[in-house]
Amino acid sequence: MIEMKEVTKLFPVKRRFFKDPLAALRGEKKFLRAVNGVSFSMQKTEVLGIAGESGCGKTTTGMLLLGLYRPTKGAIMIEGEDMASFGRGKLADFRSKAQLVFQDPYESLNPRFNVRRTIEEPLIVNHVRSKGERSDRIMKAMKRAKLTPMDAFLDKYPHELSGGERQRVCIARAIVLEPSLLVADEAASMLDVSIRATILNLLRQLTDEMPMATLYISHDLSLLGSVCDRIAIMYAGEIVEIGEPEDIVHSPLHPYTKALIAAVPVPEFGSGRKTSESFLLKGEPPDLTDPPEGCCFQPRCPLAEDQCVFHKPRLRKSGEAHFVSCYRTGG
């Protein structure tokens, strides 16, 4: 249904006169490479998870997929058509079918709107004029989002709701237009641990029932492993490994994926999992205005060799649905 082909997104960065006066006077342009050659596809009823450190390009990838950013290079194909060829009307129609659930339910709801008005807003924006139809679709979305009994929520304002209830309102608002694509950006990270699983299970259920494709963005691999059909690992704007949860969580190949797995807390003392010191990351992610040559991970990689410094590895197959970008692993 959706495919990203070698998508790159550059953002211009202002030159600071006092830091680099000559470059500023010459008007030299500097760019931040937020996403660098990302490719993947998604089918309906599929949940694809994207994991990685803060600043790795996860959210920018989601914004590109929604059409909120235009790619600098590459193509985003929607059911076989390049999004760049969409006119204003077709792009507006696509955006009505592509919705976003934000990370923070405390900030993403208008405090002056009650639940009814919040869920109704996308219908008004998209010119659903019949009040009866709007009311029916509001009730249907609330039922799907498990905001029941509905009469108990319709007239409440955000400050009267718990964190989990607010996020369910955000989900109901996102699905009231019955989208074919949903991007959930850290949708459970602001919630109590006790209710994260219920929100994730709800997103999984909605993906199957509606049906729609869901891109779930998170830094928590333990969450992604329980809800996603596939997981992509991003580092410095690039996908370095992608595969099914069983492969990514239990048989990771890329050193960065192994480091992320090693960083997941073990809840039970003495559970037997031991962290290899060689995969405890040192240093900081690279400056994306001046990314390293060769493999983007090689400055921090404990397995780096000469070819990693000078030649960028490509994603290659290592199993039926497992791909990795690394010279030292993958076979």
Domain definitions of the chain by residue range = 2-97+181-277, 106-178
Could you tell me which CATH number the domain at 2-97+181-277 has?
A: 3.40.50.300
- Regarding pTM above 0.85, the answer is yes
Task: Report the C-alpha gap between 38 and 56 in whole angstroms.
Answer: 12
Which helix (H) or strand (E) is 323 found in, with range? strand 323-324
pLDDT for residue 278: 53
pLDDT for residue 104: 87
Sites in the chain below the pLDDT cut of 70: 15-28, 265-279, 330-331
Cβ proximity of 254 and 240 under 8 Å: yes
pLDDT for residue 331: 44
Which helix (H) or strand (E) is 230 found in, with range? strand 230-235
pLDDT for residue 273: 52
Going by their DSSP bridges, the two strands 81-82 and 73-78 should be labelled as antiparallel
pLDDT for residue 100: 94
pLDDT for residue 142: 96
pLDDT for residue 275: 47
Task: Report the C-alpha gap between 148 and 132 in whole angstroms.
Answer: 20
Task: Report the C-alpha gap between 39 and 5 in whole angstroms.
Answer: 5
pLDDT for residue 133: 94
Going by their DSSP bridges, the two strands 2-13 and 30-42 should be labelled as antiparallel
pLDDT for residue 192: 79
pLDDT for residue 24: 56
